[in-house]
Amino acid sequence: MKIAFYDTKPYDKIWFEPIAREKGFEITFHESKLNENTAVLAYGYDAVCIFVNDDAGEKAVNKLADYGVKVILLRCAGFNNVNLKAAEKRGIKVMRVPSYSPSSVAEYTMGLILAVNRKIHRAYVRTRDFNFSINGLMGIDLNGKTAGVIGTGKIGQEMIKILKGFSMNVIAYDPYPNKDLDINYVDLDTIFKESDVITLHCPLTKETRHIINEKSINMMKDDVILANTSRGGLVDTQALIEGLNKNKFAGVGLDVYEEEDEYFFEDLSNENVTDTDLIKLTAYRNVILTSHQAFFTKEAMMAIAEVTMENMEAYRDGENLNNLIK
């Protein structure tokens, strides 16, 4: 079976090619992202493999179906970039990687929290210039502070373990509480009002879009720390910038951005970026913005490649599609 692989980066080939060859799949790698105009690259292929910034909207899905594509393989957990109704209508199966390495994302999130709290990014720049003053680099002890976790799936659960390891008082919100977790579930308002650190680990849906907004930011404590390694759309960028202008946040760690599709995973160092919100976020000294790399470990990449190819194998062999998105 043939797979058209979109938005290819050098590291994708390293992990996917050997497994695909072993399982008897033929992959054609394209650097282009999937959209309604590039869907033609999948003509005659059985499946497409896409990532977080590919656009599998209704028009793209319909074209894929017209070209004979039967499967959309998501090499990620999120699926907000796929029009599932259009795919179902055209008989295209959509499968994802629900869990690859929850610890990779949780560990990275904690790294962002520690960095913005203790100003590690600023200290690094100073000492490169032999400026060894620590004035302005003061943080807080996390020990004994309250951490609010929004979303208690596998990544959220790993995050809770880490936060408890720092002897933090952990509270959590999830519309579907996990009764097996030893955690104090509260409502969102309580998360916003009581947390010294807030970290987001939920999918992007209609209900969660802009869960961090002007109203929720106004509820937060002054000098709160916010971390988002999930999806950019969870945070209203304009409200975040306004909060930063009002010195609401002690620190903000972002691995995702609301309008990241055009920028993240690309080298734009020789181009003029015109996104004023993105420029503003990179200018704040108490903000660390990274390029959607929280997942990026050897263990995670191996798991993503293996599960993606296993999803295709299950379809080919007529087995149960355990990772089918319905």
Looking at residue 219, what is its pLDDT? 98
- Other beta carbons within 10 angstroms of residue 291's beta carbon come to 15
pLDDT in tens, 226-242: 999 999 999 999 999 99
Backbone angles phi, psi at 304, to 5 degrees: -60, -45
Report the C-alpha gap between 226 and 148 in whole angstroms. 10
Q: Note whether residue 324 is domain-resident.
A: no
Question: In what side-by-side order are the strands of the sheet with 287-289?
Answer: 184-185, 169-173, 146-150, 197-200, 224-228, 249-254, 287-289
Average confidence (pLDDT) over 63-86 = 96
Q: List the beta bridge partners of residue 254.
A: 228, 289
Is there a single domain that holds both residue 268 and residue 251?
A: yes
Is there a single domain that holds both residue 87 and residue 125?
A: no
Is there a single domain that holds both residue 187 and residue 200?
A: yes
Is there a single domain that holds both residue 273 and residue 183?
A: yes
Is there a single domain that holds both residue 92 and residue 120?
A: no
Q: What angle do CA 67, 70, 71 make, to 5 degrees?
A: 120
Q: Note whether residue 326 is domain-resident.
A: no
pLDDT at residue 78 tops 90: no
pLDDT in tens, 165-217: 999 999 999 999 999 999 999 999 999 999 999 999 999 999 999 999 999 99
pLDDT in tens, 87-124: 999 999 999 999 888 999 999 999 999 999 999 999 99
Is there a single domain that holds both residue 52 and residue 73?
A: yes
Tokens of 290: 């990274």
pLDDT at residue 27 tops 90: yes
Is there a single domain that holds both residue 109 and residue 35?
A: no
Q: Note whether residue 132 is domain-resident.
A: yes
Q: Note whether residue 203 is domain-resident.
A: yes
Please report how many Cα atoms fall inside a 13 Å half-sphere around the Cα of residue 77, on the Cβ side. 21
Where b means 16+ CB within 10 Å and e means fewer, 207-232 reads ebebbbbeebbeebbeebbbbbbbbb
Enumerate residues 6+ apart whose C-beta is below 8 A from 135.
Answer: none
Q: Note whether residue 49 is domain-resident.
A: yes
Number of domains comprising the chain = 2
Q: Note whether residue 325 is domain-resident.
A: no
Is there a single domain that holds both residue 123 and residue 215?
A: yes
Is there a single domain that holds both residue 175 and residue 281?
A: yes
pLDDT in tens, 258-316: 999 889 998 999 999 999 999 999 999 999 999 999 999 999 999 999 999 999 999 99
Which CATH number goes with the domain that contains 34?
3.40.50.720
Contact assessment for residue 154 and residue 203, using Cβ atoms and an 8 Å cutoff: no
Is there a single domain that holds both residue 111 and residue 199?
A: yes
Q: Note whether residue 154 is domain-resident.
A: yes
Average confidence (pLDDT) over 65-72 = 98
Is there a single domain that holds both residue 89 and residue 108?
A: no
Active site positions, annotated: 231, 260, 292
Q: Note whether residue 255 is domain-resident.
A: yes
Its domain, for residue 126, covers 102-289
Task: Locate all alpha helices (DSSP H) within the chain, ordered by sequence.
Answer: 10-23, 58-66, 84-89, 102-118, 120-128, 154-165, 188-194, 214-219, 237-245, 276-283, 298-316
Q: What CA–CA distances, in Å, run from 43 to 60, 79, 85, 316?
A: 12, 23, 21, 19
Tell me the percentage of the chain whose pLDDT exceeds 70.
100
